[in-house]
Amino acid sequence: MTDDRETTTPYRFPGIASRAAETDRTGEIPDLNWKEIVDSGYLRLFHPPEHGGSGADGRTQAEAMEALARACSGTFWAATVSALLCVKLISTYGDVAEHERLIRPLLAGERLAAFGVVEKAAGSDASTFQTTVRRAPDGDGYVINGEKSRITNAPIADLAVTLARLEHGPGEEGPDWCLAFVDLRQSGAQRYAIPHMGLRAMPWGGIVFDDARVAEADVIPVEFKELAEGMAWGWLLISFSAVAIAEAALDASARHARERVSFGRPLAHMEGVHAQLAESRAQIDAARLLARRATSERAAGRSARDLIAMLKIYSTEMAVDVAARAVQIHGAFGVTPGHEVERHYRDAQMNVIGGFASNRLREQVTEGLGLGPAVYEEFDWLTPTGLAQDPVGLDGVPHPASTTA
């Protein structure tokens, strides 16, 4: 029986792994990392040959994602958001023949894409998004205005796959939302970087659109509820980042437990350390099995959206738990800047929030149980209990309760 932790894929990233600490320290992905990714064929794994991909099966995709994320999680995010998430959004909602001009440079590593969704005043709540797309005054295509913030690859991307409100002209009908494929190499698009706690190698920042031009063919009207299907690719890649970070943290913990001697014996001989390592091992393997199942379903053309939502919740919070145990096992080493475990702990935290906050995903999973959306409505919880009257007021007379909800 094959150990499911065993990696059979030919994808290895030893150079990227050797540079991970320095990449985290500088906050920049070196050119050698990009060359190693392109040369490996990683960017083409997730797409069929007719789209310029290699058509890898689900198992290969899963193992390659984990291998790259294990080497450097920040580099993994930058490469995979572009080649997997953004290209899937383009090919799913756009026209492959028309948008081959966008897809092929991304899969060849000649261009980099960002998914522009979050805004300064809004994260998971799309109802507050303000970025708009409207017909250009001169009739030549569209213009986009607004600001996207906390976006992977924003400071260096060439293309932004952008979620925006679509303003209709007189007599126009259709969805109120669109995906706009915006060329960021124009004067109407300005980028900026934002410092971040974890995944420091990942370029992260914002994009300001000021009447930036978008070609007619690059504005794709789409019903908002349909977008979750495409965005689930993002949840999937984040989950692999989490699994890889947790595995790296566990490996560091086991190595430290063998080498560190305390109170006359290695940490590995202590029952409390055994329990922490065993708990981490069980959690990681459970997440990995779920992640590979979800990837296989997706690679076979099936939705698996709800499965991936559950995976994202479990795997990202699991990685935080495993990294926290690693810090405990390492003691002061684990909170020393520049230490491997300190980096894993910071990186793990980013995955819980990234892509779609896990608490919001919990609401979506619950909706799938048939309970409907999580909607707040005012209600009176005192009257039905008989507590709407104070038993005795200060004047000795019962009074209506002063607090209701």
Provide the b/e sequence for 173-202 (b: ≥16 CB within 10 Å). Answer: eeeebbbbbbbbeeebbebeeeebebbbbb
Measuring CA to CA, how many Å separate 233 from each of 46, 311, 351?
Answer: 10, 12, 14
Q: Report pLDDT for 401.
A: 53
Which residue has better confidence, 349 or 2? 349
The mean per-residue pLDDT over the stretch 356-364 comes to 81
Residue 394 has pLDDT above 60, yes or no: no
Q: Whose CA is closest to 82, among 178, 12, 2, 160?
A: 160
Output the average pLDDT for the chain: 89
pLDDT, tens only, 171-185: 888 889 999 999 999
The mean per-residue pLDDT over the stretch 281-310 comes to 93
Which residue has better confidence, 171 or 80? 80
The mean per-residue pLDDT over the stretch 295-322 comes to 93
Q: Report pLDDT for 202.
A: 96
Q: Whose CA is closest to 63, among 88, 49, 42, 82?
A: 42
Which residue has better confidence, 278 or 368? 278
Confidence grade of residue 376 (pLDDT, cut at 50, 70, 90): low
Q: Report pLDDT for 176.
A: 92
pLDDT, tens only, 142-199: 999 999 999 999 999 999 999 999 998 888 888 899 999 999 999 999 999 999 999 9
Residue 23 has pLDDT above 70, yes or no: yes
Q: Are 178 and 219 in contact (CB under 8 A)?
A: yes
DSSP letters, 41-82, are TGGGTTS-GGGTS----HHHHHHHHHHHHHH-HHHHHHHHII
Q: Report pLDDT for 2.
A: 43
Q: Report pLDDT for 374.
A: 65
* 225-371 CATH fold: Butyryl-CoA Dehydrogenase, subunit A; domain 3 (1.20.140)
Q: How far is CA 199 from the centre of its chain?
A: 11
Q: Report pLDDT for 120.
A: 86
Q: CATH classification of 113-223 is 1.10.3720.10, yes or no?
A: no
Proportion of the chain above pLDDT 70, given as a percent? 90
Residue 403 has pLDDT above 50, yes or no: no
Give the C-alpha separation, 298 to 233, whole Å.
Answer: 9
Token couple for 296: 């296989």
Q: Report pLDDT for 151.
A: 96
The mean per-residue pLDDT over the stretch 97-102 comes to 96
296 burial class (0-12, 13-18, 19+ CB within 10 angstroms)?
A: middle
Give the C-alpha separation, 382 to 205, whole Å.
Answer: 47
CATH superfamily membership of 14-107:
Acyl-CoA dehydrogenase/oxidase, N-terminal domain (1.10.540.10)
State pTM to two decimals: 0.86
Domain borders along the chain are 14-107, 113-223, 225-371
Q: Whose CA is closest to 33, among 75, 87, 91, 83?
A: 75
Give the C-alpha separation, 126 to 227, whole Å.
Answer: 11
Centre a 10 Å sphere on the Cβ of residue 226 and count the other Cβ atoms it contains: 13
pLDDT, tens only, 339-352: 999 999 999 999 99
Confidence grade of residue 399 (pLDDT, cut at 50, 70, 90): low
Q: Picking from 123-127, 133-137, 328-332, 341-345, which range would have the lowest pLDDT averaged per residue?
A: 123-127
Give the C-alpha separation, 244 to 27, whole Å.
Answer: 20
pLDDT, tens only, 210-243: 999 999 999 999 998 888 788 899 999 999 999 9
Q: Report pLDDT for 27.
A: 94
* Of 75-89, 349-363, 369-383, highest mean pLDDT: 75-89
